[in-house]
A and B are shown apart, each in its own frame.
Chain A
C-alpha cells in the first residue's frame, strides 16, 4: 500500500457526502427500465456496467489498482443501499463475487491486470465450474482432470449447475491435477476460455422448466499454464476467499428485499379478504417475526464488523434462516391462493403473473445450491460449536 493511499484512507469522505455523490450519479446515469426484448437485455446490462466502471463506481470492495473503489466497510454498506434503492442491474455472472476475491488475493500481478478490470467492466463474463454430476456436497471428490503438457493443461471432464453459462466467456474451474484419491490435496484452480475448442455448453432444464443453468463438457481443452491461479494442487485452499467482510455489506438490502416480498403478500391477502382468518394471520405473524429477525441479524452482523471487525455467530446462521424463509413464504402464498395458486403465467386467471408459484418451485434450490442445508448444518456444528468431525467421512 502506498503512502498516498494511506493518506486518502485517513482523510475519508464523510458518509453523507459519499451517499449524496453516489445517489446523484445513479440518478443522472440511470439506465431506465430493462428492454422488453430479452435479446437486448445482455448488451443493455453490459452498457450499464461499463458506465459504472468508467466513472469509478464499480467494485466497492476491490482495490483501486484494478478499477475498484476500495471502500471502507461502512461505505460498502451505503453503496449496496444506494444501488438497491436505484434498482439498477447487478453484475453478470458469478465471477465478481466468487472468483475475483481469489484472484485479488492469490493471483499474479500479470493475471490481475489481464482479468480483473474487464470482469468488473462487464466486458467479459465469468462463470463457475465447480460442481460435477458425481461431486456435489462432496466437492473434493471432483473428477474433471487437467493433465500438464508443456506450457499447457489438457482438461477433460464435466461440470454442472453453472449459472449464466450461455453468456459466459471465462470459466473459473476446480480441476484434478493430483491422483484420483488425492481429494482436496490434488485440486488446482484454473481459468478456462469458454470459447476454446473442446468446450461444449449444454443448457440444463431445471424443475421450473427454465434454463438458468448449464452443463459444461471439456474434451481435450488446452489451457495455458499461465491461467493457473496459485500453485498446482493448491486450488482448494484458494477457492473460498472473500475480501474482508464484503459479503455482509449487502445483508441489509437482502433483508429489505424480503421485507418487500412479505408486504406484497400481505397486501394480496388483504385484497382477497383473507386476513380475517385467524390461522392465516398466525402464519403471517410467524413470517413477520422471521423477516424482522433477518434484518436484526443483518444489523447485528454489520455493527459487529464496524465495532470490532467481527461478524459474529449471527452471520454464520443467517443463511439457514433466510433460505427457509424464502421457501416457506412462497409455499404459504401458493396455499393462500388455493387452486388459483396452481396457474402458470400464461393462464389469463393467473395471480400476479404466477410469481408465487414460480417462487415455490425456484426456492427448492435455496437449500441445495452453494451447499445443501444438511452440509451447512454440519459446518456450523463443527466450525462454530466445535463438535467432532464424523470419523466415517474423509478429513476436511
Chain B
C-alpha cells in the first residue's frame, strides 16, 4: 500500500464541536518536508531581509537611528509621504465606494469593461503608470492640465495606483447585502440617505476599512509611479521611497534602513488603528 501509512490524526476540535476534519495529510514526501520547505522559502526570501533592515537601522545605535530619521530632508519626505497618503486614502474611501456602488447597483452599456478596467493599476507596471500620467498631465498635456513636478502630481499618481483597493473590497459586500433590509426600512418611511447611512454603510464599513489599510500601505511605499512625474525635488516633491533610494545610492545604508523602519512603523500603526476602529464598530453586530 502507500508509503504514508500513518494513521490520520485529527486536529483538536473545539469543545462540543463536530469531530475535526483536518488531517495532517499533505501530499508528497510527507508533511514535515512540505512545512520545512515553506518555512525555509519564507525565511530566506521574506524574514531574513526584513531582519537585515531592522538590524542595519540600529547599527549606529539609537543616536545614529535618530539622526538619520530626523534629518530635515528625511522629515520633509516623511511629511509629504504621510500627508499625501492620508489625502489619497480619504479620496479613495469616497470614490472607491461610489465606484463600487455604480458597478453593483447601476446598469449601463460597457459596465463589464469598466469593471475589468478597475484592475488596471494592479496589472500595469508602475513605471508605465508614471509615464502615462506624465504624458497626460505634464508639459504637453492634451487636456491642458500640467501638474508635473508639483505635489499635486504625487497625489494623482497615488490615486492611480490605489484605485482598485477600496472598490474591490467593497464590491462583494455590496453584492451580498440583503435588499430586503432596505425595502423594510423604506416601508418604515426611511429616506434614501438614511437608508444608506444606517443600513448600507455599516455593512460596507469593514470593506472600506480593509481597502483603506491596503491603500495606505501601498501609497506610503509607492515609488515607480512617482519617479517621472513628481520630479523628486528634495523638500518639495520627494517622497520617502525616493529619499531612501537616494540614501542607498549615496551608500548611506544605515540612514536608508532607519527611514525604512519608520515607514514600516507608520504602516503598522495605521493597521492597528483601523483594526481598533473595526472592533469598536463590530460590537454593534452582537
> Are A and B associated in one complex?
no
A positions within 8 Å CB-CB of B: none
